[in-house]
Amino acid sequence: MISLPGPLVTNLLRFLFLGLSALAPPSRAELQLHLPTNQLQAVEGGEVVLPAWYTLHAEVSSAQPGEVPFVMWFFKDKEKEDQVLSYINGVTTSKPGVSLVYSMPSRNLSLRLEGLQEKDSGPYSCSVNVQDKNGQASGHSIKTLELNVLVPPAPPSCRLQGVPRVGANVTLSCQSPRSKPAVQYQWDRQLPSFQTFFAPVLDVIRGSLSLTNLSSSMAGVYVCKAHNEVGTAQCNVTLEVSTGPGAAVVAGAVVGTLVGLGLLAGLVLLYHRRGKALEEPANDIKEDAIAPRTLPWPKSSDTISKNGTLSSVTSARALRPPHGPPRPGALTPTPSLSSQALPSPRLPTIDGANPQPISLIPGGVSSSGLSRMGAVPVMVPAQSQAGSLV
């Protein structure tokens, strides 16, 4: 196969090709080129024949001896017009996948296109110029036909949107990435029993199937079919309806439990810190605290006893019995021997003799009697005039 000439050479050949019929003397025969007027359709990946033939008026359809046709096919896309095949002086040049159906010379100029793609859609023009053996032009004609390459649906993808549990709503979606013309969709349930769906639950344009208020009987294998004029493709999805709580519910319960435990731990920690903060001021030692007030020395009626480094002061008035008889019904408080401070024995001063300790017990009870009664002697620290304990 000879490669095509460059664009400049192609345009030059076309100009010369068209000029032959204009410069040559006209013939009494009239050339007519025949192409279909309706749009031709083909399928991507296949092949198609663009029919074309010419006739000379008042002559038979077959080529006459010495008849020389000059043929050119052009394709015009959105940007430019390209030559796809030419037959000039017995030499054929064409692009890959393009050929003439019949061997030349012939009045049948049909063009075969193989390995079609969607981009091959568009107008195709056939130009023919016929000369006789003497080089005289028998006629010239050019006509155009339209080719539309269709694309079958590409395999679609099926998806399940939503959580398939009892009482919930889900949507089955189906999309084909490529097709020409646009596809329409159909959803069917194959197993366990066949069921076909229609609008409004089915959207034939978008390929969605809406299932509401799911039940266990709605489980099964759902098949989506994408179809157009030239093909069909399908995919399927298995719907399993669960009866337990959804994953979102379980996750929400777990998160709620963790949040509750965190709040409880925070409250316990806050209570503990608050109690500790209240205890710390009570245990603080204040260096600038005021010393206790100095107790006055007892009067002459008070009993003062000193023994070594320890002293006790006891008011004698507290030890005196009440004056007069007790009133009827009145309760006489009895001091506890274990909790009341016992006075130290008075040390009377006797000139010329050593002081002898004399036990003075309230109520006239001797120390030996108190011992038999179970009393325990208590040493009470005395307070000095400076207010300190000695």
Measured CA to CA, the distance from residue 25 to residue 304 in angstroms comes to 168
Local confidence band at 280 (pLDDT 50, 70, 90 cut-offs)? low
Q: Please say if the pLDDT value at position 352 is more than 60.
A: no
Of 77-81, 89-93, 119-123, 241-245, least confident by mean pLDDT is 241-245
Q: Please say if the pLDDT value at position 288 is more than 80.
A: no
Contacts of 327 by beta carbon, 8 Å cutoff, 6+ apart: none
pLDDT computed for residue 139 by the predictor: 84
Domains of the chain: 30-150 (2.60.40.10), 157-239 (2.60.40.10)
Contacts of 317 by beta carbon, 8 Å cutoff, 6+ apart: 301
Tokens of 213: 């208020």
Contacts of 236 by beta carbon, 8 Å cutoff, 6+ apart: 158, 190, 221, 222, 223, 224
pLDDT computed for residue 248 by the predictor: 60
Query: Are the C-beta atoms of residues 125 and 98 closer than 8 Å to each other?
Result: no
More confident residue, 215 or 63: 215
**pLDDT tens, residue by residue, 139-180:** 889 999 999 999 999 999 999 999 999 999 999 999 999 999
**pLDDT tens, residue by residue, 314-344:** 433 444 445 555 555 444 444 443 444 444 4
More confident residue, 381 or 147: 147
Q: What is the DSSP letter of 331?
A: P
Of 37-51, 89-103, 257-271, least confident by mean pLDDT is 257-271
Measured CA to CA, the distance from residue 315 to residue 364 in angstroms comes to 16
Local confidence band at 257 (pLDDT 50, 70, 90 cut-offs)? confident
Residue type, 180: K
- Return mean pLDDT, the chain: 75
Q: Please say if the pLDDT value at position 345 is more than 90.
A: no
pLDDT computed for residue 349 by the predictor: 46
